[in-house]
Chain A
Amino acid sequence: MSSLSEPLRIAVLVKEVPDTYGERHLDLETGLVDRAASDAVLDEIGGRALEAAVSHAEANAGTEVVALTVGPESAAEALREALAIGADRAVHVTDPQLGGADLGLTAEVLAAAVERLDADLVLAGNQSTDGLGGVIPAMLAELLGRPQATNLDAIGIGAGEVCGTRASDHGTMVVRASLPAVASITDRLPDPRFPSFKSTSAAKKKPIETLAAADLGVAVEDPAAPRSILISVAARPPRAGGMKIDDEGDGGTRIAEFLAQNRLV
């Protein structure tokens, strides 16, 4: 682990997700995200985390930003985008055995990758736009024995600590954690910069390291480890529109009548 006066190594968790601007689907055989059915993009919230890390690196020479993902081979595209935004290098954990990994296994793999990277700070989005679980940063903190400064609406990365304002259930907290730590940010942080042609070209020369679960010492099929398993998946019929009228001066009254007929007032 680097000492506090040395520049930081920041691991940013990124993810390939189906674009929320289109229809998204689950495969009804496997229950997994049907990646072929939608455009895959770098998750926007991970892009914001990356922007925070890259901005810090620009102001603090020597900081290294590493984009880290666990995902199928196609997720290399999301890593290329992360490199174009400004990550120095990327680590791609990809392993057919990890397809459909539950949260516990995913967190174990990420924790092993973070330890291998010897990262001082792990930075992530508060929740991915596909799973919306919002717990991976907390699980990583538990497995790594680090403090978690999560769900931050504003973040400061300083000498030996990460701080910020946490949007909590009942109000706002100012929180501080000593490094090494795990932090996550909300969509109140700025959008990632749009990569320039130059940075996109430069990204092609930056290294992406590819690892399998075994390279990280993670036993995927550990019979002693309980797992969360998917037992069914079903598509709900799409919602259909009902009656649509033009307001002819009585629109408000007509809605009130509709509500009354349906016992909603």
Chain B
Amino acid sequence: MNYPDDAVLVLLDLTPAGELHSGAAGLLGAAAALGSPVALVVTDPASGGRAAAADAAAGLGAVRTLVAESADMGRALTVPAVDALAAAAKLVGPEVVLVSHSIEGREVAARFAARAKAALALDAVGVTRDEEGVVVRHSAFGGAYETESAASFGTLVATIRPGAIEERGEDRPAAAETLTVEPSGLPATTIASFEGRAETSSRPALREAGTVVSFGVALGSPDKLALIEELADSLDAALGASRAAVDEGYAPQSWQVGQTGVSVSPDLYLAVGISGAIQHRVGMQTAKTIVAINKDPEAPIFDIADFGVVGDQFAIVPQLTEAIRAKKA
């Protein structure tokens, strides 16, 4: 089987249900901007959904999808996916390998780069090509700096920040094939059990959301969360929280925005009762528009907010929710 000379190998994450992770569109979009995307999915032979995942990858721009089956997938950490990626790279001979900068993805990419002795670029917010090759764009210190990097030579392995790529690939006919993987036999960590996060919410994922409504410890009690949730739902927004709110137990850790949490760049970031400590700002200051509500007129969040209201969130938020509903009605 021949693969395109300009093949870009893309490792796609699957959800526990066996579907493509929502970041696949951006990964394949980035790959399509550089060359011909060849997708790789790695599954447990017992799980279904392979054909559907390959179809979905083609719909997002993959010219071909390699399906690797590994009985160790879901039982051993990272190594089975690295072995599959190494086998796929050997077969395809790509100029670039793209992987999501997710927790699982970045470790697979890094181990593969270490194994292949390839240059590694992390957390890209853009990829382009100039006359000398592929250039990776990064955002440092919460968007205060932009840097560009490239591989000195050889295959470039890059991880892509989820939600950062707006390009999309074109719909292509499905073309799936099975990839045989020779296990490396390297010692791996055993996954003794897995508990999926309950996706009780129909809200968009925080990293990829167009609008984020975030709240701080000033909420005062988890009982007041409904107020924030109603505002978020009126805007079809994801929910975010400050570290202090997470530490107080008002929000799960996965909602934390900032230095030690998630970095977001939505079209609209609405900060409710968040003072805007620098550790929070580095996770959200690249938002296109920032709106802040805070009772302290000196709160640093106002220094970066496009529109700020000094006042009581418990009075302002319900009024805002009503006004948005009225405008949408």
* A122-175 with Cβ < 8 A to chain B: 129-136, 138-139, 141-143, 145-151, 163, 166-175
Residue contact A254 to B115, C-beta cutoff 8 Å: no
**Chain A nearest Cβ from B186, distance in angstroms:** 6
* B263-285 with Cβ < 8 A to chain A: 267-268, 278-279, 282, 285
**Chain B nearest Cβ from A125, distance in angstroms:** 10
**Chain B nearest Cβ from A168, distance in angstroms:** 6
* B51-83 with Cβ < 8 A to chain A: 77-79, 82
Known: A151-B103, A168-B103. A173 touches B297 (CB 8 A): no
**Chain A nearest Cβ from B259, distance in angstroms:** 6
B106 at the interface (CB under 8 A from A): yes
B157's nearest neighbour on chain A, judged by CB, is A228
A26's nearest neighbour on chain B, judged by CB, is B145
* A225-265 with Cβ < 8 A to chain B: 225-236, 238-247, 249-260, 262, 264-265
Q: State the main secondary structure of chain A at its contact with B.
A: mixed
A11 at the interface (CB under 8 A from B): no
Counting contact residues on chain B (CB < 8 A from A), the size range is 35 or more
Residue contact A228 to B307, C-beta cutoff 8 Å: no
Among listed B28-36, B40-48, B318-326, interface-contacting one: B318-326
Max chain A CB contacts within 10 Å: which of B78, B114, B260, B315? B114
Q: How far is the CA of A211 from the CA of B291 in the complex (A)?
A: 51
B-chain residues with CB within 8 Å of residue A26 when the two chains form the complex: 140-141, 145, 147
Among listed A1-9, A61-69, A70-78, A99-107, interface-contacting one: A99-107
Residue contact A247 to B311, C-beta cutoff 8 Å: yes
A197 at the interface (CB under 8 A from B): no
B-chain residues with CB within 8 Å of residue A249 when the two chains form the complex: 315
A-chain residues with CB within 8 Å of residue B321 when the two chains form the complex: 252
Map CB proximity to A onto B122-159 as digits: 1 under 8 Å, 0 otherwise.
11000000000001000011011111111111111000
A112 at the interface (CB under 8 A from B): no
**Count of A interface residues, CB-CB < 8 Å:** 87
**Chain A nearest Cβ from B168, distance in angstroms:** 22
A55 at the interface (CB under 8 A from B): no
Known: A149-B189, A169-B103. A139 touches B114 (CB 8 A): yes
Residue contact B305 to A244, C-beta cutoff 8 Å: yes
B-chain residues with CB within 8 Å of residue A132 when the two chains form the complex: 123
A-chain residues with CB within 8 Å of residue B91 when the two chains form the complex: none
Among listed A85-93, A113-121, A176-184, A201-209, interface-contacting one: A176-184
Residue contact A255 to B293, C-beta cutoff 8 Å: yes
Known: A230-B149, A232-B148. A251 touches B307 (CB 8 A): no
Q: How far is the CA of A21 from the CA of B111 in the complex (A)?
A: 32
Q: How far is the CA of A26 from the CA of B153 in the complex (A)?
A: 25
Known: A103-B110, A177-B189, A251-B293. A256 touches B324 (CB 8 A): yes
Residue contact B117 to A264, C-beta cutoff 8 Å: no
Residue contact B324 to A226, C-beta cutoff 8 Å: no
Residue contact A147 to B187, C-beta cutoff 8 Å: yes
Q: Which residues of A contact B (CB under 8 A)?
A: 20-26, 31, 45, 102-104, 107, 129-136, 138-139, 141-143, 145-151, 163, 166-178, 181, 187-188, 225-236, 238-247, 249-260, 262, 264-265
In addition to A25-B141, A255-B307, 8 A-B residue pairs with Cβ atoms within 8 Å of each other are A24-B144, A173-B191, A173-B195, A227-B152, A233-B147, A233-B148, A239-B304, A259-B324
A to B CB contacts below 8 Å, 18 in the list: A25-B141, A135-B107, A170-B196, A171-B195, A171-B197, A172-B197, A226-B151, A230-B149, A233-B147, A239-B303, A240-B304, A244-B309, A252-B323, A253-B323, A254-B309, A258-B291, A259-B324, A262-B289
